[in-house]
Amino acid sequence: NAGVMQNPRHLVRRRGQEARLRCSPMKGHSHVYWYRQLPEEGLKFMVYLQKENIIDESGMPKERFSAEFPKEGPSILRIQQVVRGDSAAYFCASSPVPGGSLDTQYFGPGTRLTVL
């Protein structure tokens, strides 16, 4: 059973460009979470999605950031007009169900975004 997959692993963008980060959850998992890890800091929750639905986006910046999890295909985190402060590691996690004894999230290897 393949784990959570993220691509690309490393992404370099110039200021003003767009960044697209992809996440394929573990097989059988329909819940996806995105977290951001700034240098020397812990992970901060950004958004929680189920197929075709955004459930909780309380951690998403109000502008330039969006996320989707379509019926088919991976979840996408999109950052428009990137700025240097967006440089971070972005981690995706998936779980079978939230809450209860199964609320264990499995993390992907992350995408390290560098904005020049």
Partner 1 sequence: GNSVTQMEGPVTLSEEAFLTINCTYTATGYPSLFWYVQYPGEGLQLLLKATKADDKGSNKGFEATYRKETTSFHLEKGSVQVSDSAVYFCALSGASNTGKLIFGQGTTLQVKP
Nearer to partner 1, 1 or 14 (CB): 1
Residues binding partner 1: number (CB under 8 A) = 29
Burial class (CB in 10 A: 0-12, 13-18, 19+), 109: middle
- Does 107 help bind partner 1 (rule: CB under 8 A)? yes
Please report, for residues 11, 35, 75, 94, 105, the alpha-carbon distance to residue 102 in angstroms, rounded to integers and kept in the order given. Answer: 32, 19, 21, 11, 9
Nearer to partner 1, 17 or 89 (CB): 89
Burial class (CB in 10 A: 0-12, 13-18, 19+), 82: buried
Nearer to partner 1, 41 or 52 (CB): 41
* Joined tokens for residue 89: 């590691």
Nearer to partner 1, 14 or 27 (CB): 27
- Does 48 help bind partner 1 (rule: CB under 8 A)? yes
Residues in contact with partner 1 by CB under 8 A are 6, 31, 33, 35, 41-45, 48, 55-56, 59, 91, 93, 95, 97-101, 103-110
